Structure 1
Amino acid sequence: MGEEVEAQEFSRQDRTRHREKVRRNLDVFARMLREARFDTDDPMTGLEVELNLVDEEGDPALKNAEALAAIADQDFQTELGQFNIEINVPPAKLREGGLTTFEASLRRSLNDAESKSAAVGAHMVMIGILPTLAEGHMSVDSLSANPRYKLLSEQILNARGEDIAIAIDGAERLRATADSIVPEAACTSTQFHVQTSPDQFAAYWNASQAMAAVQVALAANSPYLLGHELWRETRIPLFEQATDTRSEELKAQGVRPRVWFGERWITSVFDLFEENVRYFPALLPVSDEEDPLAVLEAGGTPTLAELRLHNGTIYRWNRPVYDIAGGVPHLRVENRLLAAGPTVADTMANAAFYFGLVRALAESERPLWSQMSFSAAEENFHAASRQGIDAQVYWPGVGQVRATELVLRRLLPMAREGLASWGASGAESDRLLGIIEERCLRGANGAEWFVGRVRAEGQRDRYDALRAALLDYRQRMHTNEPVHTWD
Structure 2
Amino acid sequence: MGQEISHPTFTEAEFQSFSEHLDDETRLLEQWFRDGTFAPDTGVCGLELEGWLLDRNWQPAPENESFLQALNDPLVVAELSRFNFEIHTQPQPRHGRMFQQIHRQLCAIWGRCERHGAHLGLIPLQIGILPTLKDDVMTVANMSPLQRYHALNQRVLESRRGSPLRIDISGDHDRLNVIHHDVMTEAATTSLQIHVQVDEAHAVRFFNAAQVLAAPMVASCANSPYLFGHELWEETRIPLFEQSVSVPAFCDREGHLVERVTFGTHYLEHSVMELFRENRDAFPVLLPELMPGESPRLAHLRLHNGTIWRWNRPLLDFDGQGRPTLRLEHRVTPAGPSLPDVVGNILLFYGLVHHFAQLEDAPEHRLPFEHTLANFYQAARHGLAATVFWLDGHEHDLRRLLLDELLPAAADSLARLGIAAEDIDTYLHDIVAPRIRSGQTGAAWQKQFIARHGADFRHLTRAYHQHQASQRPVHQWTL
Give the TM-score normalised by the residue count of structure 1.
Answer: 0.94
Cα offset, 1:97, TM superposition: 1.6
Partner of 2:280: 277
Q: Is the contact made by 1:358 and 1:418 (CA closer than 8 Å) also made in structure 2?
A: no
Aligned-residue CA RMSD (Å):
1.7
Q: Aligned with 1:210: secondary structure? A: helix
Q: 1:432 aligns with which of 427, 432, 454?
A: 427
Q: Is the contact made by 2:249 and 2:260 (CA closer than 8 Å) also made in structure 1?
A: no
Provide the C-alpha distance between the structure 2 equivalents of 1:57 and 1:389, rounded to a whole number of angstroms: 32
Q: Does 1:484 align with 2:455?
A: no
Provide the C-alpha distance between the structure 2 equivalents of 1:23 and 1:373, rounded to a whole number of angstroms: 32
Cα offset, 1:40, TM superposition: 1.4
Partner of 2:76: 76
Q: 1:446 aligns with which of 429, 442, 453?
A: 442
Provide the C-alpha distance between the structure 2 equivalents of 1:249 and 1:442, rounded to a whole number of angstroms: 42
Cα offset, 1:4, TM superposition: 0.7
Cα offset, 1:253, TM superposition: 6.8
Q: 1:412 aligns with which of 394, 403, 407?
A: 407
Amino acid at match of 1:409: D
Q: Aligned with 2:152: secondary structure? A: helix
Change (3 A) 1:202 1:418: same
Q: Is the contact made by 2:190 and 2:335 (CA closer than 8 Å) also made in structure 1?
A: yes
Change (3 A) 1:21 1:134: same
Change (3 A) 1:337 1:247: closer
Cα offset, 1:393, TM superposition: 1.1
Provide the C-alpha distance between the structure 1 equivalents of 2:365 and 2:149, rounded to a whole number of angstroms: 40
Partner of 2:368: 373
Provide the C-alpha distance between the structure 2 equivalents of 1:442 and 1:338, rounded to a whole number of angstroms: 19
Provide the C-alpha distance between the structure 2 equivalents of 1:255 and 1:211, rounded to a whole number of angstroms: 24
Provide the C-alpha distance between the structure 1 equivalents of 2:80 and 2:328, rounded to a whole number of angstroms: 22
Q: Is the contact made by 2:316 and 2:326 (CA closer than 8 Å) also made in structure 1?
A: yes
Matches within 5 A, 1:3-402: 3-160=3-160, 161-170=162-171, 171-246=173-248, 254-266=256-268, 267-292=270-295, 302-326=296-320, 327-397=322-392, 399-402=394-397
1:70-118, Cα deviation, whole Å (9 max, x unpaired)? 2121110000011000000110023142100000110111012111112
Query: Comparing 311-320 with 120-129, which one deviates more in the overlay?
Result: 120-129
Amino acid at match of 1:470: T
1:372-396, Cα deviation, whole Å (9 max, x unpaired)? 1111001000000000121111111
Q: Aligned with 1:52: secondary structure? A: strand
Matches within 5 A, 1:463-474: 465-474=456-465
Q: Aligned with 1:214: secondary structure? A: helix
Cα offset, 1:422, TM superposition: 2.4
Provide the C-alpha distance between the structure 1 equivalents of 2:441 and 2:251, rounded to a whole number of angstroms: 39
Q: Is the contact made by 2:76 and 2:86 (CA closer than 8 Å) also made in structure 1?
A: yes
Amino acid at match of 2:44: M
1:4-46, Cα deviation, whole Å (9 max, x unpaired)? 1122321111111111110111000000111111111353111
Count of residues in Structure 1 that have an aligned counterpart in Structure 2? 472
Q: Aligned with 2:328: secondary structure? A: strand
Cα offset, 1:485, TM superposition: 0.9
1:446-482, Cα deviation, whole Å (9 max, x unpaired)? 0000011112223xxx4xx111001100010011111
Provide the C-alpha distance between the structure 2 equivalents of 1:192 and 1:378, rounded to a whole number of angstroms: 20
Q: Which runs of 5+ in 2 are unaligned?
A: none
Partner of 1:299: none
Query: Comparing 34-43 with 129-138, which one deviates more in the overlay?
Result: 34-43
Amino acid at match of 2:58: G
Q: Aligned with 2:89: secondary structure? A: strand
Give the TM-score normalised by the residue count of structure 2.
Answer: 0.96
1:55-82, Cα deviation, whole Å (9 max, x unpaired)? 1111101111111112121110000011
Change (3 A) 1:21 1:432: same
Q: Aligned with 2:9: secondary structure? A: coil
Change (3 A) 1:219 1:185: same
Amino acid at match of 1:139: T
Q: Aligned with 1:175: secondary structure? A: strand
Provide the C-alpha distance between the structure 2 equivalents of 1:395 and 1:35, rounded to a whole number of angstroms: 36
Q: Is the contact made by 1:389 and 1:444 (CA closer than 8 Å) also made in structure 2?
A: no
Cα offset, 1:289, TM superposition: 3.3
Change (3 A) 1:352 1:247: closer
Q: Which runs of 5+ in 1 are unaligned?
A: 293-301
1:327-371, Cα deviation, whole Å (9 max, x unpaired)? 121000001110000000000110110000000100111111110
Q: Is the contact made by 2:168 and 2:176 (CA closer than 8 Å) also made in structure 1?
A: yes
Cα offset, 1:248, TM superposition: 13
Q: Is the contact made by 1:393 and 1:401 (CA closer than 8 Å) also made in structure 2?
A: yes
Provide the C-alpha distance between the structure 2 equivalents of 1:255 and 1:380, rounded to a whole number of angstroms: 19
